[in-house]
């Protein structure tokens, strides 16, 4: 039987009621989709940040709790550890005291001095522990570290840098012809440094060699004061070459003592100057004027090293503490490790960490001879490390891989990198490095200068001319032996005892500012004539006045032209 279903009138296809129902369904679906999308967007932009904020708060809360726990543990264990160390220092000092007294009673002075130094070390440890227990740890616990920073860092540094006794000991003896007026901090070579004033006879001897000095530095090594024969040999190996260059004025060697005399250079070390410049400039690095002044110091250092190298000497200890800034000029001091470049001696590892090329240490451990290595390039590594420390405000902890984070022209970064790179890619001479540095310092826009613009990279005749000009500037920076004091002042030289001219004292222009006068301007070499003022001592003065003929009625003294 066949059944036929009759459709309701509203269900017929095409009927208006069916179309309205379809539209309603479509709109409901569309609104549902929009609602879901809105919910997802709201979840992403509202709920997720809220959840992240809650997670951040919980994480930092746990970190805060962990920091507080660690802070308390550091305080407790620090107090406990220093208390135990203080007790240990007291016990050890009580052991040293009878050892010192017994050796004094039986006349074993060297042994008593040895145990006395041990007693001093224990007393220093005791004082340091008592300070940390009473002041240091409580201050750090209450977040007052800045309050004690000066006591914990700057005061010990100042004490360590303090000069020794202003008078030599009886065992050391006096220095004939010199009056001791002060002392300087001793270096790592074991010698003692005294500031002295030479008498008239010594001044006359120095003047005959064209060295006009008011004060000198005497570096003394006495076997009776604990110096050793190897120290004396090391200090004296380059003495003759140093005397020819005017670095050493006088010396004396006896059975128990060796000393030599150098011109005194008053001023501050580059370490102190760098620290002050960074303190005044801020955390981003040196300001343009300070940076320009610092690069002028490095230029002077390279000029002086060029003089050493042309004289056949390897300084071997280039570091900020050995660079004295005096009247705006950088002077390299401390001849303790100076070595002839062609020496047949075995290479040693002496030097200062972070400013000494690790490759030199490896060569020394292999037993290489000094004449078989390029000492010039090792000095230039030290200059690169000094440049890094001046720009960055800290030492290059990773050697040639150390990166400069402070602001400075890219060309300066490249110079530092090349000075501290492998030996075969390093600068070949101080003059070559000086030419690159002068190009940056004298550029109108050092910040826009690229490494390709530097003479050592550019190559060609212009590069050769720039290097020759740098070599000329390096040589003219120092007063030749035929110059008098007056000529030195006119030339703006930095010879021993000479007073720098106005240009030497003028503050350097900031990077990008025009420079007045080239550093390599030629200097006259007119030979002065001399007037003897004391025939007994041989003292004389140089003058550029014309001769006065006494027979022709001239009433003045005879003077050289």
Every domain of the chain and the residues it spans:
37-160, 178-263, 279-477, 528-561
| 215 CB burial (10 A radius; 0-12, 13-18, 19+) | middle
Determine the 3-state secondary structure of 5 from DSSP. Answer: coil
Alpha-carbon gap, residue 83 to 89, rounded angstroms: 10
Percent of the chain's residues with pLDDT above 90: 27
DSSP-derived secondary structure for 37-70: HHHHHHIIIIIHHHHHHHHHHHHHHHHHHHHHHH
CB contact at 8 A, 247 and 335:
yes
Alpha-carbon gap, residue 298 to 319, rounded angstroms: 11
Confidence of residue 143 (pLDDT cuts 50, 70, 90): confident
CB contact at 8 A, 329 and 499:
no
pLDDT at 504 over 50: no
Determine the 3-state secondary structure of 540 from DSSP. Answer: strand
pLDDT at 410 over 60: yes
Least confident of 177-186, 283-292, 483-492: 483-492
pLDDT, average across residues 482-491? 33
The rounded radius of gyration (Å) of the Cα atoms in the chain is 37
Enumerate residues 6+ apart whose C-beta is below 8 A from 513: 292
Which one, of 135, 170, 334, 365, lies nearest residue 242 by Cα? 334
Q: CA 189, 309, 426: angle at the middle one, nearest 5?
A: 95
Which DSSP category does 451 fall into? G
Enumerate residues 6+ apart whose C-beta is below 8 A from 495: 211, 246, 478, 479, 483, 488
Confidence of residue 192 (pLDDT cuts 50, 70, 90): confident
pLDDT at 379 over 90: yes
Phi then psi dihedrals of residue 225, to 5 deg: -100, 10
Determine the 3-state secondary structure of 253 from DSSP. Answer: strand
pLDDT of residue 378: 93
Q: What is the pLDDT of residues 48-97, one digit of tens each?
A: 778 888 888 898 899 889 999 998 999 999 999 999 999 999 999 999 99
Q: Provide the token pair at 212.
A: 């006009």
pLDDT at 554 over 70: no
Confidence of residue 193 (pLDDT cuts 50, 70, 90): confident
pLDDT of residue 26: 75
Q: 449-474 burial string, b = 16+ CB within 10 Å, else e?
A: bebeebbbeeeeeebeebbebbbbbb
> What fold is seen in the domain 279-477?
Transferase(Phosphotransferase); domain 1 (1.10.510)
**Looking at per-residue confidence, does 432 or 186 come out higher?**
432
Least confident of 150-159, 416-425, 547-556: 547-556
How big, in percent rounded to 5, are the helix, strand and coil portions of the chain? 55, 10, 35
Which one, of 485, 488, 520, 514, lies nearest residue 501 by Cα? 488
Least confident of 180-194, 274-288, 314-328, 529-543: 529-543
pLDDT of residue 486: 35
> What fold is seen in the domain 178-263?
Phosphorylase Kinase; domain 1 (3.30.200)
CB contact at 8 A, 381 and 422:
no
CB contact at 8 A, 375 and 316:
yes
Which one, of 84, 222, 87, 122, lies nearest residue 165 by Cα? 222
pLDDT of residue 490: 34
pLDDT of residue 543: 54
Which one, of 61, 57, 74, lies nearest residue 143 by Cα? 74
For residue 218, the tally of other CB atoms under 10 A from its CB is: 26
pLDDT of residue 168: 67
How far apart, in Å, are the Cα atoms of 97 and each of 86, 102, 125?
16, 9, 16
Phi then psi dihedrals of residue 508, to 5 deg: -65, 145
CA dihedral angle for residue 85, residue 89, residue 95, residue 97, rounded to 10 degrees = 180
- Which DSSP helix (H) or strand (E) runs through 269? strand 268-269
Q: Provide the token pair at 317.
A: 């200890």
pLDDT, average across residues 295-313? 92
Among the residues of 161-269, which ranges form H helices? Answer: 200-208, 229-236, 239-244
Q: 219-234 burial string, b = 16+ CB within 10 Å, else e?
A: bbbbbebebeeebbeb
| 440 CB burial (10 A radius; 0-12, 13-18, 19+) | buried
Alpha-carbon gap, residue 465 to 471, rounded angstroms: 10
pLDDT of residue 483: 30
Q: Provide the token pair at 324.
A: 């004295």
Alpha-carbon gap, residue 535 to 205, rounded angstroms: 13
The answer to whether the 178-263 and 279-477 domains have the same CATH topology is no
Phi-psi label, residue 177: left if phi above 0, alpha if psi -120 to 50, beta otherwise = left
pLDDT of residue 231: 76
Which DSSP category does 448 fall into? G
Percent of the chain's residues with pLDDT above 70: 74
Which one, of 161, 167, 171, lies nearest residue 221 by Cα? 171
pLDDT of residue 282: 80
pLDDT of residue 560: 33
Position of tokens 């401390």?
334
Among the residues of 282-374, which ranges form H helices? Answer: 288-310, 358-365
CB contact at 8 A, 322 and 332:
yes
Mean pLDDT of the chain: 78
State how far Cα 271 lies from the chain centre. Answer: 5
Alpha-carbon gap, residue 116 to 450, rounded angstroms: 59
pTM for the whole structure: 0.64
Q: Provide the token pair at 160.
A: 């360590």
pLDDT at 116 over 70: yes
Identify any residues that bridge with 412 across adjacent strands, giving them in sequence order. Answer: none
pLDDT at 124 over 70: yes
């Amino acid at each position: 039987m066949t059944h036929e279903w009759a459709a309701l009138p509203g269900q017929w296809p095409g009927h208006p009621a069916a179309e309205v129902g379809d539209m309603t369904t479509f709109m409901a679906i569309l609104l549902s989709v929009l609602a879901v999308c809105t919910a997802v967007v709201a979840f992403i932009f509202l709920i997720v940040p809220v959840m992240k904020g809650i997670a951040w708060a919980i994480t930092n809360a746990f970190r805060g709790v962990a920091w507080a726990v660690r802070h308390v543990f550091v305080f407790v264990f620090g107090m406990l550890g220093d208390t135990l160390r203080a007790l240990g220092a007291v016990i050890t000092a009580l052991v040293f005291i009878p050892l010192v007294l017994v050796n004094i009673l039986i006349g074993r002075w060297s042994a008593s001095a040895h145990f006395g130094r041990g007693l001093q070390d224990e007393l220093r440890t005791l004082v340091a522990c008592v300070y940390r227990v009473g002041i240091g740890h409580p201050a750090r616990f209450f977040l007052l570290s800045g309050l004690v920073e000066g006591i914990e860092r700057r005061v010990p540094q100042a004490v360590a840098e303090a000069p020794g006794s202003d008078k030599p000991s009886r065992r050391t003896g006096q220095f004939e012809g010199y009056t001791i007026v002060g002392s300087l901090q001793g270096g790592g070579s074991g010698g003692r440094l005294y500031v002295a004033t030479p008498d008239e006879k010594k001044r006359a001897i120095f003047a005959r060699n064209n060295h006009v000095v008011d004060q000198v530095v005497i570096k003394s090594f006495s076997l009776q004061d604990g110096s050793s024969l190897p120290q004396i040999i090391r200090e004296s190996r380059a003495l003759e070459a140093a005397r020819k260059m005017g670095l050493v004025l006088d010396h004396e060697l006896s059975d128990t003592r060796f000393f030599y005399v150098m011109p005194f250079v008053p001023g501050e070390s580059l370490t102190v100057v760098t620290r002050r410049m960074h303190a005044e400039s801020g955390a981003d690095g040196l300001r343009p004027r300070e940076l320009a002044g610092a690069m002028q110091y490095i230029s002077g250092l390279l000029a002086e090293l060029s003089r050493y190298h042309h004289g056949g000497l390897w300084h071997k200890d280039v570091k900020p503490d050995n660079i004295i800034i005096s009247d705006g000029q950088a002077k390299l001091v401390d001849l303790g490790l100076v070595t002839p470049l062609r020496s047949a001696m075995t290479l040693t590892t002496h030097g200062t960490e972070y400013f000494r090329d690790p490759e030199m240490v490896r060569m020394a451990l292999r037993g290489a001879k000094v004449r078989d290595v390029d000492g010039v390039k090792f000095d230039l590594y030290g200059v690169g490390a000094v440049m890094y420390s001046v720009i960055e405000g800290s030492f290059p902890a990773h050697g040639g891989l150390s990166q400069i984070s402070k602001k400075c022209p890219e060309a300066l970064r490249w110079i530092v990198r090349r000075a501290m790179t492998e030996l075969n890619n390093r600068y070949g001479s101080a003059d070559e490095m000086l030419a690159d540095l002068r190009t940056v310092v004298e550029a109108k826009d050092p910040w826009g200068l690229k490494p390709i613009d530097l003479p050592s990279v550019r190559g060609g005749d212009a590069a050769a001319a720039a290097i020759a000009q740098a070599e000329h500037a390096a040589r003219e920076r120092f007063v030749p032996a035929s110059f008098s004091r007056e000529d030195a002042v006119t030339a703006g030289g930095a010879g021993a005892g000479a007073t720098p001219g106005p240009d030497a004292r003028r503050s350097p222009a900031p990077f990008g500012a025009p420079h007045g006068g080239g550093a390599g301007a030629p200097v006259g070499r007119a030979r002065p004539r001399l007037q003897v003022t004391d025939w007994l001592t041989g003292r004389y003065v140089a003058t550029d006045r014309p001769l006065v003929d006494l027979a022709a009625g001239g009433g003045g003294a005879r003077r050289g032209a």
